[in-house]
Amino acid sequence: MKHYFRSCPSPADGRGIFISSLLVIVLTIGLGGDVSATKSAWAQREAFRVVEWSLRAGASVDYAVLRDYPLYPYLRYRDLSRRLTEFPAVEVRDFLQTYSDTPLANRLRYAWLRQLASARRWNDFLRDAVPGRDPTFECWRRQALLNVGQSEAALRDFATLWRRAGSLPSACDPVIAVWQAEGNPTPELRWQRFARAMTAGKMGLARFLRTDMSATDQALADAWLAVADDPTRVLDATRFKAGDPRVPAILADGLSRWRRRDALAALAALDVLKARDPSLAPSLAIEERLLALWIASDYHPSALARLTALPERVVDQDVREWRIRVCLRQGDWPATLHWLDRLPPKERDSPRWQYWRGRALASLGQTETAQSIYRRIANQRDYYGFLAADRLGVPYTITNTPLTISPTALDALLARSPGLRRARELYILGREREADAEWRQATQAFDPATLEQAARLAHRWQWYHQAIITIARAEHWDDLELRFPLAYHDEVVTNAKVDAMDPAWVYAVIRQESAFRADARSPVGALGLMQMLPATGQQIARDLRDAVDTPNLRQPETNIRYGAHYLRQMLERLQNNSILATAAYNAGPNKVMQWLPVDHPLPADVWAETIPYRETRTYVQRVMEYAVVYRHLLGLEGNPKTTLSAGMKPVLPPEPDGQTG
């Protein structure tokens, strides 16, 4: 295999000469004078940095000396990427074959295909294209087929692509032109795409599609557009022709839009529509379910009746569980038992609903039966198992069974997996996103036993979040060292002490928020171990009188310090109740204040189970569960004040002035 190395840069390319010389110097120093050796990892990493920097800068470098370094493919990728305009087809194809096990292969392939399409080199494009979901590349593939005379193949199933809800890229225009010349799309197909655009909220596309419709279809399209603008128009029967099979979709979409503005009014409108035309009921059942769930999450007095009246075909796990939650919130224990009895066996036997069966029976005076249920789940190492153990007054069952994997086995796994070696180097170089991609690709075919080894390997490198993810994929739950690392111990303990808080709670929040990924960034911009929003970080910096305009929230010590302080603020604001503070860390304090009971206290376990947001409900339960595990790992258990239930004080209604603390 011949590689393309510009080992003899032109006289004008001073950068290439300088970089090549620097590369030799770095390797010579690091390898004790032997530039062909590969024993010094430090020298190879430094040389890699130098070469990659030079390639990014456009210099020409002979990097063959790094052929044995795990990240050598990244240098080849960088070199080829900058030369795609020269169409080095042989080298590109060799790279795609040689390094097909790397994430780089797809990245280079798509860059290469983009270059081929731009140059209209359609034969090469067809040779190197692979099936994909990107409409741009799919339309280029169809363009290529058209240009090599395979029109039938180019247009085959194009209607499926055209019917998508979003706008098509310009790459599709030549294909659309040929497709339309053959009499497409049909009026039915055009309406289908219009309907998809409307339900997806793509109003601009919908209006564009309307222009080519028949007069009759335009009238109905205008009616739908009017409903989108004002959902109350679903009640205007003059806009809709009786018996038109397209009308129920318009009404359902209108009710969906109305639901987001006023769910109760939308439900009343639904009742009117069903009374006016009972045949509409089956078509509107899905929206009826969503409306019932919507008001159930607000605990409206009519919620249980609405959930009960739903047609059986739309009753799913969410509906069944919300029937129970509404009863829990109302303190109606007989009704709670009624709906628990109607769960399918798999749901009914889960620790969650077994616990609530015990709670209901105990509240109705059936103590012995309740305790037998608690005993059934009290040995579970989870939120409900811990609550059940507290009800019985027995110690928690916290099993820790570390994996027994020899260092020799870990070294052997690393030796036979180029992907893991690349992931390790990228992680050491601080390129965690790329390291993640290599790790995922390298481990995707691993069996559970090999995943366990890989998880232990990642933990050995202190790549904690990857170890947590990988051991979960192996479905091995009992190695607590892997699943609940005590990373950043001094920072957590010190800052928890400063704010007079339980360090296990701080650890639990870190574990749930980022799984110990210091460079984590959420879709909304939250950063670091404890996922602090920059605005919150700036406010805390002012509170702590830190002389920084923009605190570095990816710096672990800063992130932990600020996150612990924010938890303390939430405690002080929300009844000094860790359940409420934990919920506020996820959903915000204002939302939590909206969820407080109106006129009487609620037991903390009931409040946590009836949090309206699924995400926050799960978040709170996991954090409280993880805090118990971390108390065990930190040696803080044994004191009755450290049990799960001890931190779950009753949730009180807001004070008359709106304050909760």
User: Catalytic residue numbers?
Assistant: 513
Tokens encoding 348: 């009914």
Cβ neighbors of 49 (< 8 A, separation 6 or more) are 429
| Entry field: residues in the chain | 661
User: What are the DSSP calls for 541-586, one per residue?
Assistant: HHHTT-S-SS--TTSHHHHHHHHHHHHHHHHHHTTT-HHHHHHHHH
* 304 vs 249: CA distance, rounded Å: 26
- Contact between residue 142 and residue 154 where contact means Cβ atoms under 8 Å apart: yes
Neighbour tally for 362: CB within 10 Å: 18
Q: Is 521 helix (H, G, I), strand (E, B) or coil?
A: strand
Q: Is 202 helix (H, G, I), strand (E, B) or coil?
A: coil
638: Cα within 13 Å, side-chain hemisphere: 4
Cβ neighbors of 244 (< 8 A, separation 6 or more) are 220
Rounded (10°) angle between helices 203-210 and 187-199: 160
Among residues 441, 491, 430, which one has the least CA distance to residue 463? 430
* 429 vs 45: CA distance, rounded Å: 8
Q: How far apart are the first and last CA of the chain?
A: 72
Beta bridge partners of 457: none
- Contact between residue 515 and residue 623 where contact means Cβ atoms under 8 Å apart: no
Residue at 301: amino acid letter: P
Cβ neighbors of 369 (< 8 A, separation 6 or more) are 361
Integer angstrom CA distances of residue 261 from 255, 266, 290, 420, 613: 10, 9, 14, 51, 18
Q: H-type helices in 378-502, by residue range?
A: 383-392, 407-415, 418-428, 432-443, 448-460, 464-473, 480-483, 489-498
In the chain, how many H helices and how many E strands?
37, 0
Residue at 225: amino acid letter: L
- Contact between residue 227 and residue 233 where contact means Cβ atoms under 8 Å apart: yes
* 244 vs 232: CA distance, rounded Å: 20
